[in-house]
Structure 1
Amino acid sequence: MQMGTSYYLVLILLGIIVAGNAQPLVPAIITFGDSSVDVGNNDYLHTIFKANFPPYGRDFKNRVATGRFCNGKLATDITAESLGFTTYPPAYLSPQASGKNLLIGANFASAASGYFDGTALLSHAIPLSQQLEYYKEYQSKLAKIVGSSKAHGIITGSLYLVSAGSSDYIQNYYINPYLYKFYSPDEFANLLIGIFHDFVQELYGCGARRIGVTSVPPLGCVPAAITLFGHGSNGCVTRINEDAKNFNRKLNHTVNSLGKQHPDLKIAVLDIYQPFYDLVANPTSQGFFEARKGCCGTGTVETTSLLCNPKSVGTCANATGYVFWDSHAISLSQQLEYFKEYQSKLVRLVGRRKANDIIQGALYIVGTGTGDFVQNYYINSDLRKLYSVDAFSELLVEESSKFLKGLYSLGARRIGVTSLSPLGCLPAIIRVFGHGRKTCVTRFNEDALTFNRKLNHTVLALSKQYPKIKIAIFDIYQPIYDLVTAPSKQGFVEARRGCCMTGASVKTSVLCKPKSVGTCSNATSYVFWDSVHPSEAANKVIADSLLMAGVSLIS
């Protein structure tokens, strides 16, 4: 059922290849990009964006979950087969990427990556710049295997595929207050296109002469985007699709310019926007019947996560009728599933009786809510139209209550739940929403207090409903507020920006990066480490203030 899109790509790729060869074949395929083309590199990373477990791969050869974000083959796999390959180029980080296996190419793509390195860093994926470094390493390995002359022939004759951009928008721009506040969609597109241009220039300098780059798909038609930004509608989100089309126009213009600049470079845009849109708008024309949600039971944020998980409920019986496989982090419900797995492992280690003692005697700490406001509600205009702050707080507290009840049913008897911190005092919030002032943003603090009052009420109700449970609120609002408003009382010097030089400028990120410039020499004088998280010194002060609440749970 992927024939429409993949066949279309093959025709364009053959145009790149046949033009200079009698045979429509290439010695190797080199791939860069995101989850749309990742064949397993993320299996070897510490990231939540993995697909090396069922139901992923259930329709792949031998039903193996290889790390592909699909039930079976990716469009690039089908393309490789169409070009005469009997096996697929290996994921570069995998053990298979060695020896003669490298002669047919390598795949450097990483799910959750994008053109913008910051996108990958947020999810601990492989940035595009690092993918390029791995490619240079690959070239050296290739030369050792077959010699410099033959390696050069493979390098210049290979087909290079680049597929990125979707994660930059869906997993970064639309939910990142820094980017969304300081870049218009058009400006952000320019930023990405500039990175793409430089990437191709460097790839060309490394010997690449046949490059196919995919356009961005109709992002507003992705189930996750419809659910999060669709304002209750089942139709594609027009404004997000317009952003995608704007990016694609700039991409086409840049590719044309690169082609003119380098006459010996064969480069083409592989348009996946239109065939993808046609599938969603009229799925029955290609034999599909479902285009609103993924086969893997995703697409509604109320009950599922954006990606499949090993115990996804409602996975469809026949994926060939679905345009989408998943909806395209670890949710709280998924964390509960992992806890169940932990319990099973514990039983195998020490036996059921001792495992039950450990489960019931353990201290459970639940800290959540900040991301719901800072990385979703405040930057999601559609969500704010649907919910007032009070209604959104009610929604979150209700979900929290369900989670805590689920935890209790699994044996938890001592639970500490952290309150929200003073959100308006976070350096990221002050920078983005403070209108140039350096003081806490009052309305965001009021939102946090509203949530905390509701959370306190719910925790009290749960303690009455379940007499055997010891549950308490760990109030982090007041100690953090005191640190920010009077840092010198606790020996701190800086409370308006993070030690990692975040929060002070639009040129910095919300979180630290491997090459963050200006990281302070002495973090003990900073209340915040980055723009959101407290420093170790601040955490010690917070922990001391929570000690009494903790004692009540373990006494």
Structure 2
Amino acid sequence: MASVNLLIIIITFLQILIFNTAYCNITNFPSTILIFGDSTVDTGNNNYIKTLAKGNYLPYGQDFPGHIPTGRFSNGKLVPDFIASALGIKAEAVPPFLDPNLSDDQLLSGVSFASGGSGFDDLTTLVSKAITVYKQIKLFRDYIRRIKGIVGEEKAKKIISGSLVVISAGANDFIFSFYDIPTRRLEFSVGGYQDFLLDRLQSFVKELYELGCRKVIIVGLPPIGCLPIQMTSKFKNLLNRKCFEDQNSDAQSYNLKLSKLIGQLQPSLLSSKIIFADIYQPMIDMIDHPHEYDLPQFHCRARSSNGFWIDSTVDTGNNNYIETLIKGNYLPYGQDFPGHIPTGRFSNGKLVPDFIASALGIKAEAVAPFLDPNLSDDQLLSGVNFASSGSGFDDLTTLASKSIPVSKQIKLFRDYIRKIKGIVGEEKAKKIISGSLVVISAGTNDFIFSFYDIPTRRLEFSVGGYQDFLLDRLRSFVKELYELGCRKVIIAGLPPIGCLPIQMTLKFENPLYRKCLEDQNSDAQSYNLKLSNLIGQLQPSLPCSRIIFANIYQPLIDMINHPHEYGKPTNLFPSNYEDDIVNCDCAFDRLLTLFRTLF
């Protein structure tokens, strides 16, 4: 019902504002729709490029016809799909231009050039590798050439001039280039950055006009401060989140400038009709009065001894308590955890550290994150977790995610020592630390986000050189733990990185035909060999220590190659093995045996 109400508003808006009352008859409705922008209007182009921003997996698409993920960042259709269908342009949905199987009819009735993660500022796509707005104009030129080949030059011109053009972008620019990753804030004030974006938008519209477009809707910014990504990264408790009024105010002032810009721009573009679509007010009204739109009240705006390091494989919830883009505190995370609640673990249930601590009798249930402000003395004394999803040995890895790097996790550990000294005294605290089981699991994010997918470190290191760089930082980390009293340490090696879903998805367009990247797997194996050798050299220099290399590569690759031996169906591998590994009883038995026999 909510979508129907919203759609009626949108269609009425289009009829009145785009075509005016003089044009409001069915013969003057556009027969083609052309979409530019970001994830709000990307109907699947990101499926066909190498980008971190993908929507081609469930639960995306669960309410789409056929219940399949299409690349739309939605459970079903997007607003452009509804508009195109309601105006009679499309029978069902707007296809992405990069779909290699487009028919002539699909091309002639319009496509989407949008890309999830995009914006007017090219810097915004530096990490996501989405298609910038300016590159979308290049796709549009290709589109024009293709329809000229189908219907000829004259008819193609008529199609373009009669098309309904929708532009929806800008929110990602503020989120990823100004607020959360403050790169542009170093050179612009809020007002200056607004003007910078609007200048690029103006150039974009003029270029569309030169290419023949005449009917354009430009969508304003939403209430950015009420977007879940913004509230989640700032507030630790999901139930106490509230909108950021300063960011909402910035969006409103941007929209005011945009409206004025359009008023100045249209007279200079003869025969054009350019409309500002204010989505801010309808959206803020939905947030403040959800029942009027048949929406549930989500409270989004209502209220102004062991140790585990380092990344998401062992983070039991620390990222809940820091300002980071990487959060696991929402469903479907935690759907199989006791109580069926998201805890911050990047898993449907418990993590391997939880099972280990429980099986060894250290914890009754699960390992708590150190940053939980409600930890009891018993929880502290039996051990906590300092890990942070998105982290690694290389501080550069956490630059965008704002996770807690290894160098800062050691500071948390020092705080932990001070706390337990306050509970049991210095001597007993020393015994607790020296008798603790310390587990270190990191390195994968470093290769993925600082070397392979975002090749920053590749500019200064070879693969071998980067391996040595990371291992040198690991060596320093272990020595510092030793100086603080730790004696029993397990260091997990790298998994088959080339078989991780994120890597295969980036490389292969069709998720049904993905395969492991053997060069990355080979890099992981050579790193593990170096790590094993390093531990052999390191332990003799640290008296009374017991440092063990845990080779997780071989068990994981064995699960991928022989899934039935681990109770998993073949069709889940290799694409989904990472999500289900904690449920493999036989694999866990092997791991538990390792922990019991090593100490």
One-letter amino acid of the counterpart of residue 234, structure 1: R
Match in the other structure for 1:140 = 145
Per-residue deviation at 1:282? 1.8
Distance 2:333 2:227 in 1: 19
Cα pair 2:391 2:397 within 8 Å, conserved: no
The C-alpha deviation readout for 1:319-357, integer Å capped at 9, x for no partner, is xxxxxxxxxxxx993799999xxxxxxxxxxxxxxxxxx
Per-residue deviation at 1:455? 10
Structure 2 residue 69 is the aligned partner of structure 1 residue 28: no
Per-residue deviation at 1:230? 4.9
Cα pair 1:57 1:71 within 8 Å, conserved: yes
Match in the other structure for 1:38 = 42
Per-residue deviation at 1:128? 0.6
Distance 2:186 2:12 in 1: 40
One-letter amino acid of the counterpart of residue 30, structure 2: V
Distance 2:445 2:165 in 1: 49
Unaligned stretches of 5+ residues in structure 2: 302-317, 337-343, 353-389, 417-438, 447-472, 495-526, 538-548, 552-599
Match in the other structure for 2:72 = 68
Match in the other structure for 1:3 = 4
Out of 478, 481, 501, the residue aligned to residue 457 of structure 1 is 481
Distance 2:36 2:114 in 1: 4
One-letter amino acid of the counterpart of residue 69, structure 1: F
Match in the other structure for 1:370 = 395
TM-score by length of 1: 0.60
TM-score by length of 2: 0.56
Per-residue deviation at 1:151? 1.0
Distance 1:173 1:212 in 2: 25
Match in the other structure for 1:445 = none
Distance 1:418 1:67 in 2: 26
Match in the other structure for 2:85 = 81
Flag the 1:121–1:103 CA change in 2: closer, same or farther, 3 A.
same
Match in the other structure for 2:177 = 172
The C-alpha deviation readout for 1:392-426, integer Å capped at 9, x for no partner, is 9539999xxxxxxxxxxxxxx99565999xxxxxx
Distance 1:168 1:217 in 2: 13
1:265-414 map, 5 Å: 265-292=272-299, 302=320, 305=326, 312-314=333-335, 333=346, 367=392, 370=395, 374-375=399-400, 394=412
Out of 245, 252, 263, the residue aligned to residue 259 of structure 2 is 252
Match in the other structure for 2:13 = 12
Per-residue deviation at 1:314? 4.5
Match in the other structure for 2:60 = 56
Cα pair 1:58 1:72 within 8 Å, conserved: yes
Match in the other structure for 2:161 = 156
Distance 1:40 1:459 in 2: 52
The C-alpha deviation readout for 1:434-475, integer Å capped at 9, x for no partner, is xxxxxxxxxxxxxxx9xx8799539998873x7xx44599xx
Match in the other structure for 1:105 = 110
Partner-residue secondary structure (3-state), 1:93: coil
Per-residue deviation at 1:209? 0.4
One-letter amino acid of the counterpart of residue 242, structure 1: S
Flag the 1:70–1:395 CA change in 2: closer, same or farther, 3 A.
farther
One-letter amino acid of the counterpart of residue 11, structure 1: T
Per-residue deviation at 1:258? 1.4
Flag the 1:11–1:390 CA change in 2: closer, same or farther, 3 A.
same
The C-alpha deviation readout for 1:95-143, integer Å capped at 9, x for no partner, is 2334222010111000000111111232110011110000011001001
CA RMSD of aligned residues (A): 4.5
Cα pair 2:319 2:326 within 8 Å, conserved: yes
The C-alpha deviation readout for 1:35-80, integer Å capped at 9, x for no partner, is 0000000011211211111111111111111111111111121111
Flag the 1:203–1:416 CA change in 2: closer, same or farther, 3 A.
closer
One-letter amino acid of the counterpart of residue 51, structure 1: G
1:514-529 map, 5 Å: none
Match in the other structure for 1:236 = 243
Distance 1:461 1:59 in 2: 54
Distance 1:50 1:308 in 2: 20
Flag the 1:216–1:371 CA change in 2: closer, same or farther, 3 A.
farther
Flag the 1:153–1:264 CA change in 2: closer, same or farther, 3 A.
same
Flag the 1:312–1:377 CA change in 2: closer, same or farther, 3 A.
closer
One-letter amino acid of the counterpart of residue 133, structure 2: L
Cα pair 1:112 1:171 within 8 Å, conserved: no
Distance 1:103 1:153 in 2: 11
Cα pair 1:459 1:471 within 8 Å, conserved: no
Flag the 1:66–1:461 CA change in 2: closer, same or farther, 3 A.
farther
Cα pair 2:333 2:347 within 8 Å, conserved: no
Per-residue deviation at 1:180? 1.7
By relative contact order (CA 8 Å, sep 6+), the higher-ranking structure is: 1
Cα pair 2:119 2:133 within 8 Å, conserved: yes
Distance 1:338 1:460 in 2: 26
Out of 126, 139, 147, the residue aligned to residue 121 of structure 1 is 126
The C-alpha deviation readout for 1:233-263, integer Å capped at 9, x for no partner, is 5221111101111111111111111112224
Per-residue deviation at 1:273? 0.4
Flag the 1:279–1:14 CA change in 2: closer, same or farther, 3 A.
same
Match in the other structure for 2:232 = 227
Cα pair 1:28 1:103 within 8 Å, conserved: yes
Partner-residue secondary structure (3-state), 1:55: coil
Larger Rg: 2
Distance 1:204 1:138 in 2: 15
Per-residue deviation at 1:3? 3.4
Match in the other structure for 2:558 = none
Match in the other structure for 2:468 = none
Per-residue deviation at 1:183? 1.1
Flag the 1:313–1:366 CA change in 2: closer, same or farther, 3 A.
closer
Distance 1:248 1:470 in 2: 52
One-letter amino acid of the counterpart of residue 285, structure 1: E
Distance 1:111 1:78 in 2: 19
Distance 2:445 2:486 in 1: 16
Structure 2 residue 524 is the aligned partner of structure 1 residue 549: no
Distance 1:454 1:282 in 2: 54
Distance 2:246 2:175 in 1: 13
One-letter amino acid of the counterpart of residue 174, structure 2: Y
Partner-residue secondary structure (3-state), 1:211: strand
Per-residue deviation at 1:312? 4.3
Distance 1:313 1:261 in 2: 55
Per-residue deviation at 1:370? 2.9
Structure 2 residue 184 is the aligned partner of structure 1 residue 182: no
Per-residue deviation at 1:7? 2.8
Unaligned stretches of 5+ residues in structure 1: 295-299, 316-330, 340-364, 384-388, 399-412, 421-448, 474-541
Cα pair 1:279 1:291 within 8 Å, conserved: no
Per-residue deviation at 1:166? 0.8
